[in-house]
Amino acid sequence: MYRNYEKAVSRVMDYLAGNNYTSSIVYTHKQCYRLLKEYLESKEMPYSRELALQWLDTVTPGLCSSTFQNYRLALSRVNDTFNHHEIVNTKSAYEAVQHYQHLNQWCKELLDEFLAVLSKSHGSASIQEHRISASKFLDYLSKCGVKSTVGISHCIIRDYYRNDLHKTQKIKDHYNSLIRHFLMYLADKDRVRRSIPLALDKFILQRLVLIHELSPSDRDAFYVTGQPDCINASEFHSKALILGSTYLKRHRYSATIKKTFRKTWNELFVFLEANGLDYCQETALYWAQYMRYYTVQWKTFRRAVKMFEQFRNTGDIQPEIVYTYQRDKAENLSEWCRNEFRSFIQCKRREGLAASTVQMYRSSCLRFLGYLGQVGSTAWDMITPEMIKDFHLSDPHTTPEARNAYAAKCRGFLEYLAVKGHIPSTLKLALSNESAARLDIIRTLADHDIAAIYEFKAYAQTGLQLRNTAMIMIGLRMGICASDITKLKMSDVSWKQGTISIQQAKTDKFLKLPMPTEVGNSLFRYIMDGRPETSSDYIFITHRVPYDRLEKGVCAKALKKALGNDPHGFHVTRKTFASRMLINNTNPTMIAETLGHSDNSTVMTYLSTDGKSMRQCAISLEGIEVKGGLLS
């Protein structure tokens, strides 16, 4: 009863084997035919298309979509063979055409050689997949007129990717990875350029710039002549491989950063070889900048170029270096004022001022000189008091404190110019201070804020959470400023004595403070469980390369993590600490010493935060009541 059915099944299985279908497809067909036969035997009826479809309907609810499609295709094939003794619908649902028999002789020999090497380390299913994908690729090369591996170009790789169609992107990516494996084999044998297999990547191909396809203006910008520091693309790639595999790991970059930089250098290598260019920094930076038309990551590309250039020149990298790409505004100054500006800034550096203070002098003077240029000044003797007053009125700062701070820096520059004899000594008086005395209400953390901090502390698990907790607890329980917390070193903590020593950044005063148990526990847990392993002596460090000390602004961010989008700055922890000591009847002199103040006058400002005690100071309004109006 089932002889003809079994013959049809046998023909289909021979067809699959002869055309090198994958083992998963063969297995699915075999399973389908076995289950169908069991169904027919249970019905005691011979094979028919109607019964086959009826059986498929009964098993469909338990099948995934791909298995259902393969079952349907298997039934279609066995029906064609049963009725017509041949398979008609070879492309109806799954295309697995074998291109091998259509290949030129050089392609067959190349593929056979590759598969022979592959058979030593891969199974039959993997070899079948490589044969199908590589055959299809080689068949495409033959149709493009390629006569040998020398003719495989980046343009052909790009065109093949665009024309190669698959049901899903996932399937396409898989087959491209197999072809890339084949191309890597050819590159190892020096039969294709090293960048050819790297080019078969969907992200690289989306951004591949072929200079001959650009407009003349863009085309010329990529060609740099007369650069003595150029190296060929292969040498660039070799150095980039060493940098990516050894030095990024040595400096403990994260896996994501290492992967990103390596991909960037590979993509730049593909660009250089595709266009026949040598590597030089100017070309590479222009390429990175040109990538802004394709990806938001172009700044990462630019940093990767800068890092490679540093490695190329010094033999190592310095992660702490912050690269700058914008032109210095001082270079845009006119000749008549540029030299005096530079001399003034150098003078401030020699005075030993902090870098932030020198930077403030620099930005203030640049804005002042820029304004003079806008109003048409071309010499020092053209500066008038009216110009200076108008400049001061144009100051964009919104608070009197900020205006006064920047005016003081500009006034210092005017004094310097007067000493040099460029302007009258009285001209600085045109830049006045603004006075706006005010009394601010002292803001401290409420009880629910402190409860939220302790809840955050209780659930802290990650390294960053432990770091945030330790910084907050130091500020809240010891009243230490953010600028002093971030510069704490391991040697500043005495675990035996239970103290923390600091040299205050603001007053340069040395303090040795008792360390509360909560602070010590938070510090210990962060150092042991959350802090990255590094040789840095600073306690609080960044959790990514270069593992350097933190900026003080990180403390405020830590407090916001604990309190949500809270408007308080980190200094509120210091105010809360002082306020709590005052509420607990601590001697004001002791509070001042703990905070590092020279006297207790500042502590007096915290009196208003002690609501319970302030109520005792209330004065009766008896005899001065308001009369008339709504209150009468």
Task: Look up the pTM and report it.
Answer: 0.61
Cβ contact 308:323 at 8 Å: no
Output the pLDDT for position 290: 92
Residue 364: burial class (beta carbons within 10 Å; 0-12, 13-18, 19+): buried
87-138 pLDDT, tens per residue?
754 443 344 345 677 788 999 999 999 999 999 998 888 888 898 899 999 9
182-201 pLDDT, tens per residue?
999 999 999 999 999 999 99
197-255 pLDDT, tens per residue?
999 999 999 999 999 998 887 888 787 655 667 899 999 999 999 999 999 988 888 88
pLDDT class of 435 with cuts at 50, 70, 90: low
CA 69/CA 58 separation, integer angstroms: 15
- pLDDT for residue 3 is more than 90: no
125-180 pLDDT, tens per residue?
888 889 889 999 999 999 899 999 999 999 999 999 999 888 788 989 999 999 99
Output the pLDDT for position 382: 92
500-537 pLDDT, tens per residue?
999 888 777 889 999 999 999 999 999 999 999 888 89
Output the pLDDT for position 628: 65
309-328 pLDDT, tens per residue?
999 999 999 887 777 666 67
CA 286/CA 302 separation, integer angstroms: 9
Output the pLDDT for position 61: 85
Output the pLDDT for position 604: 67
Percent share of the chain, pLDDT over 70: 93
Name the more confident of 479 and 228. Answer: 479
Output the pLDDT for position 622: 77
Number of Cα atoms under 13 Å in the Cβ half of residue 555:
28
pLDDT class of 379 with cuts at 50, 70, 90: very high
pLDDT class of 619 with cuts at 50, 70, 90: confident
User: What is the arithmetic mean of pLDDT over 562-578?
Assistant: 83
Residue partners of 22: CB distance under 8 A and separation at least 6: 96, 125, 128, 129, 132
Lowest mean pLDDT among 13-22, 209-218, 431-440: 431-440
Tell me what the pLDDT averaged over the chain comes to: 87
Q: Which two tokens stand for residue 45?
A: 């009826």
The stretches of 231-375 forming alpha helices (DSSP H) are: 233-242, 248-250, 255-274, 281-290, 298-314, 335-350, 355-374
Output the pLDDT for position 97: 44
User: What is the arithmetic mean of pLDDT over 471-485?
Assistant: 92
Output the pLDDT for position 610: 67
User: What is the arithmetic mean of pLDDT over 284-309?
Assistant: 92
Peptide bond into 216 cis (omega under 30): no
Output the pLDDT for position 533: 87
User: What is the arithmetic mean of pLDDT over 293-301?
Assistant: 91
Q: Which two tokens stand for residue 564?
A: 């949500």
